[in-house]
A = this chain, B = another copy of it.
Amino acid sequence: MPDRSTLTFIIGGARSGKSAHAETLATTSPPPWAYIATAEAYDDEMRERIALHRSQRSEGWTTIDAPLDLAGALEALPDNQPVLVDCLTLWLTNHMLAEHDLDLEYRRLADVLSQPRGPWFVVSNEVGQGIVPDNALARRFRDAAGRLNQQVAAIADTVLLMVAGLPLKVK
């Protein structure tokens, strides 16, 4: 039996098919599948998105909410469990709003992700290819997201860039 303990990092723009592709890849392994949701519903638009995503997932999925303690949620998983983390940019948003020490959080997360114990799929957004944002918070977020994406991509076994629903292999 091949070693299925690998980290796949899936990055792309909004509505580029990241989550759907990650689901397709995760479900090539037998269930049960773990879906680690980092979204926190701050408003109705967000609540709607979360409910829609949840209703679109097929049976066999268990949802684990981890808006902040993503490392802990990953550590609590059994071995060989296929998992989809959706997504890193929302997790980052939650930590920025809580004014946590990002470097510390990145390190904790990278420690866990560098030793995947199953077929792990992590989704994140590319947010840095537009015009420099007007406001300082958006620029800070953009920088922080870029740094986070680089760190995870560096330790991932496979990195895919999603373009219009199609994966482009980067690593």
Chain B residues with CB below 8 A from A9, complex form: 164
**A31 on the interface (CB 8 Å rule)?**
no
Please tell me if A36 contacts chain B, counting CB pairs below 8 Å: no
Total identical chains: 3
A50 and B127 alpha carbons, distance in the complex (Å): 22
Interface 9-mer from A53-61, A67-75, A79-87, A128-136: A128-136
Segment at the B interface, from A22-30, A102-110, A111-119, A138-146:
A138-146
The distance in angstroms between the C-alpha atoms of A147 and B16, with both chains bound, is 8
Interface status of A165 (Cβ within 8 A of chain B) = yes
Across the interface, do A11 and B133 meet the contact criterion of CB distance under 8 Å?
Answer: no
- Give the distance in Å from the alpha carbon of A164 to the alpha carbon of B129 in the complex: 11
Q: How far is the CB of A39 from chain B (nearest CB, A)?
A: 13
